[in-house]
Structure 1
Amino acid sequence: MSAETETYVAEAAPAPTPAVPDAAAAEHQGLIERWAERHGVDAARRLAEAEDLADAVAKEIVPDNTVDTYAKSWRVWERFCAATGLPVRESSRGALVAFVTWMLREGQQNGTGYAPSSASTHLAAAVVGLRERGVTVSGDDQGAARAALEGLAIKLLQAGERRGRGQAVGADVEGLRTIVRSCPDTLSGDRDKALVLTGFNYASRSQDPAGLQTGDVVLRPQGLVVAVLTGKTKHSVRNAKIPYARDPEICPVLAYTAYRTRLVAEHGAQWADPSTPAFVGIDQWGHVTGGMSPDSVTRAIKRISQRAGVPIHWTGHSLRIGLASEGRKQGKDGIAIADQGGWARHSRSMLGYMQRDDGWDDNAAAGLT
């Protein structure tokens, strides 16, 4: 290695810190050395800068809720390692299989086991966390842990043990009517109508209405165009078109325009500014408290359905499930449903929402005998 290269490598190599594990720092330094030898110092510097940019972009494009999941799952992995005496930064086949076994048996903070779906999420996120910390996780070892998880999940089912809350109930048209009729004639009631009716018609997640600004919802002659910018994938970031409904009582366009008109009339023209929240929080005295958060949207939908007496209370995901299942019932094209709701075409989750309600009408045994 030339003296110039040695000087550059020494200056460019990051000092190991808790945020940059030794293994990752050594790998980074090795790359710099190879680039400098192969292409020269200037090219190595530019390549290192490009590598830093790639790391920054990768961090920027990960959704906030995914970052939260990674952090929570890493804490689960740390609790497992503390409970079993295994090193945190090792990922042998045995350690990963022991991890999923521990999660199903006793992994929760209260000493009970996780549902298999939660254990699967924690396993995937823990593997990401290990790799981020410079630990090599082989595909075979991870596959062994997944096979163990699936086998143990089957054993739980055979033993009659069903864990987790299960899939949320889907919203339906009759439920929408019941909810609309239960909403009081107040700004809060108008907000609730608009939140539920528009959310159902574009298959909203809780973060979607929470992330909308006034300028993201535009009235057109045919209805509303909602710019959904909080989606997790390229499919879910979309301009969803919501047409006027045949039934004015449950029309999302009329409900949204009535809510926005009342908000401005009662609380001032500043709420018409395109940069203000489309859906606002309202306290028990009728005061506007600012924009809604995803958690407040979830709580609102549950509260709205409870007030209406919907037999099974809706959750923040009920509106999303509802568009898929009701669209399928009414013969809507699967691709049109996917585009409206921000699913990939032929999405497994969307098809799952549809198939829950197709078990009788679209049944392989129907009409055979």
Structure 2
Amino acid sequence: MSTVVDMALVPADGPGGHQPAALLDPAAAERQELIERWAERHGVDAARRLAEAEELADAVAAAITPDNTTDTYAKSWRVWERFCAVARLPELEGSRGALVAFVTWMLREGRQNGRGYAPSSVSTHLAAAVVGLRQRGARVSGDDQAEARAALEGLAVKLLQAGERRGRGQAVGGDIDGLRAIARACPDTLTGDRDKALTLTGFHYASRSQDPAGLLNGDVTLHPRGLVVAVLTGKTKHSVRNAKIPYADEAKICPVRAWTAYRTRLVAEHGPQWTDPSTPAFVGIDQWGHIIGGMGPDSVTRAIKRISTRAGVPIAWTGHSLRIGLASVAGRKGRDGIANADQGGWARHSRSMLGYMQRDDGWDDNASAGLA
């Protein structure tokens, strides 16, 4: 790395012309001002070393940011760019009016097909666009962002009043009855054993779709009391964990027995190379029974939907149903938030986890039940 205190010169639009790079990039201008203050205070050499340390910090921050977070920021910035082009607004001005207009435009026509986004998607794009603005040196006040969020909430209510319901809503949570139905419906094939193990183990450690997709055989180890699943593809520091899954009393939906049966059959039918710890934990299998590599996050999501549909679950599960299911079922069984958080990889006071724990179908704890 090398950072000079003098402003770097880059070619201007005219032939042979130059202008300071910092003038082209507000974030670079802010960094340059900081370097110049360091130079005045500590000298040029110290300023250069401090600047190199800043570059290292930037590189570390980029390296530890989850890929899906980076993808979300990039996608939302492209939405912001489209809005600015349509509205003929400068991209690096996150004013109150621009943010409210952005929200309004997204709800009305922001999607590529000219239709409006669901409010939940608008909320995600707004938050990520604000991050993008700040990363690029634009100043976005908390009050202006809050006003845009207030506008979003009010407009979302107007949509509901007008009879518009956008988005899929929150995924349905998995439950024990659903697991029983899935276990019964899995055929006596390698694919069936894989499906059963994928669902039963995923439920018991509150998996996201990327979690089983990232597991290797060596990440799942047998223990006298069950399984230990080393989840290394976590979205946050809390997500990376060793989840312990005990044997279940009900053998037909026991995740430990399901995992053992699946891996035993995989080795028996496709060879001892599948005992290697570096092989994928969950393999893709085509319609002819051929192994086609490890499962990816999208294939896990599709598999969960297909598996639950085959079992006749009333509302098809999604890739997030297993994660919601553990928190809600464990909450109803009296497990506390700390135990839930440690098993599922949430922060111990996660609002989303506590919300899952409090989910109820409205029948068991109904104020009108038994009144007459």
**1:333 Cα deviation (Å)?**
2.3
**1:295 Cα deviation (Å)?**
0.3
Q: Does 1:211 align with 2:188?
A: no
Q: Does 1:348 align with 2:344?
A: no
Q: Does 1:9 align with 2:5?
A: yes
1:286 to 285, 289, 293: 289
Q: Does 1:67 align with 2:63?
A: no
Residue type at the aligned position of 1:112: R
Give me the whole-angstrom Cα distance separating, in 2, the residues matched to 1:115 and 1:68: 19
Give runs of aligned pairs for residues 189-228 of structure 1, distance below 5 A: 189-228=192-231
Per the alignment, in what secondary structure is the counterpart of residue 91 of structure 1? coil
Per the alignment, in what secondary structure is the counterpart of residue 63 of structure 2? helix
On the 8 A contact 1:16/1:22 being kept in 2, the answer is no
What's 1:77 paired with? 80
What's 1:106 paired with? 109
Give runs of aligned pairs for residues 133-282 of structure 1, distance below 5 A: 133-282=136-285
Gaps of 5+ in 2: 13-20
Give me the whole-angstrom Cα distance separating, in 1, the residues matched to 2:367 and 2:316: 31
Give me the whole-angstrom Cα distance separating, in 1, the residues matched to 2:192 and 2:249: 22
**1:137 Cα deviation (Å)?**
1.6
Give me the whole-angstrom Cα distance separating, in 2, the residues matched to 1:363 and 1:55: 52
TM-aligned CA distance change 1:239 to 1:355, over 3 Å? same
Q: Percent identity?
A: 81
What's 1:301 paired with? 304
On the 8 A contact 1:192/1:304 being kept in 2, the answer is yes
Give me the whole-angstrom Cα distance separating, in 1, the residues matched to 2:335 and 2:286: 39
Q: Does 1:97 align with 2:108?
A: no
TM-aligned CA distance change 1:8 to 1:204, over 3 Å? closer
User: Which moved further from structure 2: 214-223 or 25-34?
Assistant: 25-34
User: Which moved further from structure 2: 289-298 or 87-96?
Assistant: 87-96
Gaps of 5+ in 1: 1-6
**1:160 Cα deviation (Å)?**
3.4
User: Which moved further from structure 2: 77-86 or 293-302?
Assistant: 77-86
Residue type at the aligned position of 2:61: A
Q: Please, what TM-score do these two structures have when normalized by structure 2?
A: 0.91
Per the alignment, in what secondary structure is the counterpart of residue 233 of structure 1? coil
TM-aligned CA distance change 1:14 to 1:363, over 3 Å? farther
Give me the whole-angstrom Cα distance separating, in 2, the residues matched to 1:340 and 1:265: 32
TM-aligned CA distance change 1:95 to 1:241, over 3 Å? same
**1:365 Cα deviation (Å)?**
8.0
Give runs of aligned pairs for residues 334-345 of structure 1, distance below 5 A: 334-345=337-348
**1:196 Cα deviation (Å)?**
0.2
Residue-by-residue CA offset, 1:158-198 (whole Å, 9 max, x unaligned): 33332211111111111111111111111111110100000
Give runs of aligned pairs for residues 117-136 of structure 1, distance below 5 A: 117-136=120-139
On the 8 A contact 2:5/2:48 being kept in 1, the answer is no
Give me the whole-angstrom Cα distance separating, in 1, the residues matched to 2:56 and 2:81: 30
Give me the whole-angstrom Cα distance separating, in 1, the residues matched to 2:4 and 2:68: 39
Q: Does 1:320 align with 2:329?
A: no
Q: Please, what TM-score do these two structures have when normalized by structure 1?
A: 0.92
Residue-by-residue CA offset, 1:128-166 (whole Å, 9 max, x unaligned): 112222222222221221111112122223333322111
TM-aligned CA distance change 1:254 to 1:45, over 3 Å? same
User: Which moved further from structure 2: 278-287 or 21-30?
Assistant: 21-30
**1:27 Cα deviation (Å)?**
2.0
Per the alignment, in what secondary structure is the counterpart of residue 38 of structure 2? helix
**1:363 Cα deviation (Å)?**
6.1
Residue type at the aligned position of 2:69: T
**1:34 Cα deviation (Å)?**
1.5
TM-aligned CA distance change 1:195 to 1:14, over 3 Å? farther
**1:336 Cα deviation (Å)?**
1.3
Give me the whole-angstrom Cα distance separating, in 2, the residues matched to 1:309 and 1:358: 19
Residue-by-residue CA offset, 1:318-345 (whole Å, 9 max, x unaligned): 1111111111222222321222111222
Residue type at the aligned position of 1:74: W
Per the alignment, in what secondary structure is the counterpart of residue 5 of structure 2? helix
**1:207 Cα deviation (Å)?**
0.4
Give me the whole-angstrom Cα distance separating, in 1, the residues matched to 2:255 and 2:99: 48
On the 8 A contact 1:190/1:258 being kept in 2, the answer is yes
What's 2:18 paired with? none
**1:367 Cα deviation (Å)?**
8.8
**1:302 Cα deviation (Å)?**
0.7
Per the alignment, in what secondary structure is the counterpart of residue 226 of structure 1? strand
